[in-house]
Amino acid sequence: MAQNIQTEYRMPLKIATYDVGANQVMRLSAVLRYQQEAAECHLSPGGLGWNDLEGHGIAFVTSRWHATIRRLPRVNETVTLTTWHRERKGPRFLRCYEWTDEAGEVLLQGVMQFALVSAADHRLLRGDEFMQLADMPQPARGVDCADPGRFSLPPMSPNGTYCVRWSDMDRNGHMNNTHYADLLWDFLPVALQGRRAADVQLHFAGESRLGDTLTMEAGQDASAAYVRGSTERGCTFAARVELANDGI
């Protein structure tokens, strides 16, 4: 299986009109969607894509993402997304991403943390189940972005609700992680929504299921803005974003 997996996967992209928002730069949700697809394209030739893993009774779910952003790609811009598996640390799997422009300049870098779960009941697994299929670490090959870690939330204030709809669902049976990036922007205070993101962290704490109503909260401290979504079962996601003062 894994002998067919290259050390990295490179995805050339031209940013389409549906990838960008009102400011003509790429939405964070689109960044996450392409990263999700690039990881699938990287693993599939080795028989380790989503459908293959499901056949073994296992699946990867995203648990955390951290990205540092110099700028987001613009509409009609040609860029390259490069991804590689970095290493496993206990039950955590770490994958790196780097976006570059046509001149090779780095636009954004990030680290995604994944957990391995049972495909049937989403029970958290130790990770050994995947390592029996493949072992392809590159622990020395990182990016200029710290691994996603914990962050503390400031005092938070209610900022609306969101009902989880059919279009939010993915094949794992819960809201796809890419949608949380849109919720981050939708539930920031209005005065902050047009600002440029310089550093983003997303923590995926629990499943959002069809029909759930997320109670949304927002807050700020001296360095960042925060959004949290919760159901009656507890927190489903929390986000931290550092905003630049130089437009888009």
pLDDT 10s digits, 174-183: 899 999 999 9
| Fold agreement (2-131, 157-243) | yes
Share of the chain above pLDDT 90, in %: 70
Whether the pLDDT of residue 246 is over 70: the answer is no
CATH superfamily of the domain spanning 157-243 = Hotdog Thioesterase (3.10.129.10)
What are the pLDDT digits (tens) for 75-133?
999 999 999 999 999 889 999 999 999 999 999 999 999 988 888 888 888 888 887 77
Level-2 CATH architecture, domain 2-131: Roll (3.10)
Q: How far apart are CA 124 and CA 122, in angstroms?
A: 6
Which residues are bridge partners to 214 per DSSP? 162
Averaged pLDDT for residues 36-49: 91
- The residue ranges of every structural domain in the chain are 2-131, 157-243
